[in-house]
């Protein structure tokens, strides 16, 4: 039975727009590529063409820079980010719970932290360089400083604004202070904590580039500086593309982890 | 048929001590909950005025009253979320203490924990009380079976309908085998059909488990349908205006003339305009 579908003009227009919305992302991607080709045309173009960038990719795979291919450099940056993030999460979540849950430590510590987090992480570079030189530790420390505010602020907010009714349920069942903290407050703050994890991850990925520009022999930040110093713009652009891809990948991974660990945050589908 | 039982006692208002003596002198093992001269001020605002009544073991009592009469304050005093200005609440003759007694509460708003599955929500209170695992298993299984939640046990609350979510909360409360179960307009936001369905469900749980229930509602029909006794509260400062015994057989019928008579009577009494 093939019944004709009855639709008003308005509905037909809605349907059309729905289809257009599905195509639009691809359209914008296509536009970006076209723009790229356009600006990189001509003899004295100041922008590397897609072809040149692809060639640079093949070159770095055959002739690694400082012994590392592009993937090696990405991995070097990721390692720094991972170590710094794990420290930042452990410390940040603990600190956020401490200040979000206990009023006294909130009044005592939060003003200090607010002052600390209003200083951009890059402002620490001179001091950190004087204290710790240019090795691996100062880079990781810088990433740590850059990623700590997001996780602390989110955990703090999650713990501070636990819905009263959940705590009332605890009171009613005569839960003690420890049970209220671990069985009610922390679980209810988990989605806020995960928001902090997401934000701190992207912050860490930004700061690691700056940290690697300080000097060193590996990392995507190093590649960018290297490309700038030798006027190798295809290398710069290639690094930028990888930075974007890895950043997006990190965002997706943290999102999936959240869905896996906190299945209740998955919103109702209908 | 409605029985008036006004308990105004000027002497008792003088202070809790005199009423305590009176309480001691009339021990009655059949009385589960005893509310004596409960009074609450918020600053100068006089919310509750000298409320006194008894609840028998396993009794189902409904509390009705005009809007804004302090029903919620009244409940919060019973659960010890607030402390009374004067008077006290006794369970089995002892001053109610959440550490010793089992009070359970069904809130008006949905209060199932979103991060726990249906089954874990039901286990929550029992695990807080650190009961033995086999006791918890047994009680939770029983509640799941009685509420027909078998298929939903591993779902999260947000995946359920509002009525199923409210059933979890009701189940969670009954699973505690509480000394006193307080329900604060648990069906306030539900449509008529779900309301009928859940009213019967609570009646069934109550009959099987013999729990002592105080059920607050603004719906007079609901009160007459469920209660063995109805307490009618007055406007602020709130006191118990009257007690009405409902001794109709169950299942009750909304169109039974006796039912209608009681409903009309309570409606008449509740009017404050």
A166·B113 Cβ contact <8 A: yes
The yes/no answer on whether domain B10-102+178-270 falls in CATH 3.40.640.10 is no
Whole-angstrom distance, CA of residue B240 vs CA of residue B233: 5
The residue among B221, B224, B222, B244 whose CA lies nearest residue B232 is B244
Q: What local confidence, expressed as pLDDT, does residue B79 receive?
A: 75
Q: What local confidence, expressed as pLDDT, does residue B11 receive?
A: 38
Q: What local confidence, expressed as pLDDT, does residue B254 receive?
A: 83
Whole-angstrom distance, CA of residue A154 vs CA of residue A163: 15
Write the class of the CATH domain A77-214.
Answer: mainly alpha
Contact, B185 vs B216, CB < 8 A?
yes
Q: For an interface test with A, which of B106, B114, B121 has the most A Cβ atoms less than 10 Å from its Cβ?
A: B114
Q: What local confidence, expressed as pLDDT, does residue B32 receive?
A: 86
CA atoms within 13 A on the CB side of B95: 9
Q: What local confidence, expressed as pLDDT, does residue B22 receive?
A: 40
Q: What local confidence, expressed as pLDDT, does residue B72 receive?
A: 77
Dihedral angle computed from the Cα positions of residues B91, B94, B99 and B103, in that order, rounded to the nearest 10 degrees? 10
Which residues in chain A have Cβ-Cβ distances shorter than 8 Å to B156?
A: 263-264
Q: Domain ranges for chain B, please list them.
A: 10-102+178-270, 112-177
Block mean pLDDT (10 aa), chain B, length 273: 41 39 49 87 85 89 82 78 84 80 82 92 90 92 87 89 84 86 81 81 86 88 89 83 85 86 85 64
B103·A172 Cβ contact <8 A: yes
Q: What local confidence, expressed as pLDDT, does residue B28 receive?
A: 54
CA distances from A203 to A149, A158, A208, A250, A254 (A): 9, 20, 9, 11, 13
> Among all residues of chain B, which has the CA nearest to that of A262?
B115
Q: How many CB atoms sit inside 10 A of residue B249's CB? A: 8
Of B109, B115, B158, the CB nearest to A165: B109
Of B107, B129, B159, the CB nearest to A173: B129
Per-residue pLDDT of chain A (270 residues; tens, 9 = 90+): 677 778 888 888 999 999 999 999 999 999 999 999 888 887 777 888 899 999 999 999 998 988 899 999 999 999 999 999 999 999 999 999 999 999 999 999 999 999 999 999 999 999 999 999 888 999 999 999 999 999 999 999 999 999 988 998 888 888 889 999 999 999 999 999 999 999 999 999 999 998 998 877 899 999 999 999 999 999 999 999 999 999 999 999 999 999 888 888 776 443
Q: Which B residues 88-147 touch A at CB under 8 Å?
A: 98-99, 103-105, 107, 109, 111, 113-116, 124-125, 128-129
User: How does pLDDT run across B89-101, given as a tens digit for each residue?
Assistant: 888 888 887 777 8
The two structure tokens encoding residue B150: 């078998």
Q: Which B residues 140-179 touch A at CB under 8 Å?
A: 156-159, 176
Shortest distance between the Cα of B176 and any Cα of chain A, in A, equals 9
A264·B176 Cβ contact <8 A: no
Q: What local confidence, expressed as pLDDT, does residue B19 receive?
A: 40
Q: Provide residues of A within 8 Å CB-CB of chain B.
A: 165-166, 168-175, 179, 183-184, 187-188, 190, 262-264, 267-268
Q: Strand order in B180-184's β-sheet?
A: B103-106, B180-184, B213-216, B60-64, B229-233, B240-245
Q: For an interface test with A, which of B120, B128, B159, B180 has the most A Cβ atoms less than 10 Å from its Cβ?
A: B128
Q: What local confidence, expressed as pLDDT, does residue B5 receive?
A: 40
Burial of residue B81 (number of CB atoms within 10 Å: 0-12, 13-18, 19+): middle
Q: Domain ranges for chain A, please list them.
A: 77-214
B114·A174 Cβ contact <8 A: no
């Amino acid at each position: 039975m093939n019944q004709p579908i009855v639709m008003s003009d308005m509905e037909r227009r809605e349907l059309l727009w729905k289809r257009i919305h599905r195509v639009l992302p691809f359209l914008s991607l296509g536009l970006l590529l076209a723009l790229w080709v356009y600006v990189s045309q001509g003899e004295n173009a100041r922008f590397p063409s897609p072809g040149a960038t692809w060639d640079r990719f093949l070159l770095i795979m055959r002739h690694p820079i400082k012994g590392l291919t592009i993937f090696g450099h990405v991995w070097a940056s990721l390692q720094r980010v991972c170590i710094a993030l794990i420290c930042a999460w452990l410390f940040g979540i603990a600190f956020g719970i401490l200040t979000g849950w206990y009023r006294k430590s909130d009044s005592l510590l939060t003003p200090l932290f607010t002052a600390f987090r209003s200083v951009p992480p890059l402002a620490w570079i001179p001091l950190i360089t004087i204290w710790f030189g240019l090795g691996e530790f100062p880079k990781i420390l810088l990433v740590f400083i850059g990623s700590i505010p997001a996780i602390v602020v989110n955990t703090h907010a999650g713990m501070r604004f636990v819905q009263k009714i959940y705590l009332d349920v605890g009171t009613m069942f005569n839960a003690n202070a420890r049970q209220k903290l671990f069985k009610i407050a922390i679980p209810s703050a988990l989605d806020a904590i995960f928001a902090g994890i997401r934000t701190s991850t992207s912050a860490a990925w930004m700061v690691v580039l700056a940290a690697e520009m300080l000097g060193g022999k590996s990392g995507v930040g190093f590649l960018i500086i290297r490309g700038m110093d030798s006027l190798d713009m295809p290398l710069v652009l290639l690094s930028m593309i990888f930075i974007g891809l890895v950043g997006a990948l990190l965002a997706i991974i943290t999102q999936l982890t959240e869905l896996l660990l906190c299945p209740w945050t998955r919103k109702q589908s209908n | 048929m409605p029985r008036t039982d006004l308990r105004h006692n000027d002497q008792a208002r003088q202070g809790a001590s005199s009423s305590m003596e009176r309480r001691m002198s009339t021990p009655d093992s059949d009385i589960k909950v005893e509310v004596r001269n409960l009074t609450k001020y918020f600053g100068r605002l006089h919310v509750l005025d000298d409320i006194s009544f008894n609840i028998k073991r396993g009794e189902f009592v409904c509390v009705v009253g005009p809007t804004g009469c302090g029903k919620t304050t009244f409940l919060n005093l019973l659960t010890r979320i607030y402390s009374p200005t004067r008077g006290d609440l006794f369970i089995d003759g002892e001053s109610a203490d959440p550490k010793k007694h089992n009070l359970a509460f069904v809130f008006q708003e949905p209060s199932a924990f979103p991060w726990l599955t249906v089954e874990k929500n039901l286990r929550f209170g029992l695990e807080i009380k650190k009961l033995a695992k086999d006791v918890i298993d047994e009680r939770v299984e029983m509640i799941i079976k009685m509420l027909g939640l078998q298929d939903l046990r591993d779902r999260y609350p947000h995946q359920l309908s509002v009525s199923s979510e409210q059933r979890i909360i009701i189940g969670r409360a009954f699973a505690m085998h509480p000394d006193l179960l307080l329900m604060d307009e648990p069906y306030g936001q539900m449509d008529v059909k779900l309301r009928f369905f859940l009213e019967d469900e609570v009646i069934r749980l109550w009959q099987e488990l013999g729990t002592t229930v105080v059920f607050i509602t603004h719906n007079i029909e609901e009160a007459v349908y469920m209660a063995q006794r109805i307490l009618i509260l007055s406007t602020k400062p709130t006191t118990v205006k009257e007690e009405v015994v409902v001794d109709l057989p169950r299942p009750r019928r909304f169109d039974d003339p006796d039912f209608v008579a009681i409903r009309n009577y309570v409606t008449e009494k509740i009017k404050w305009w």
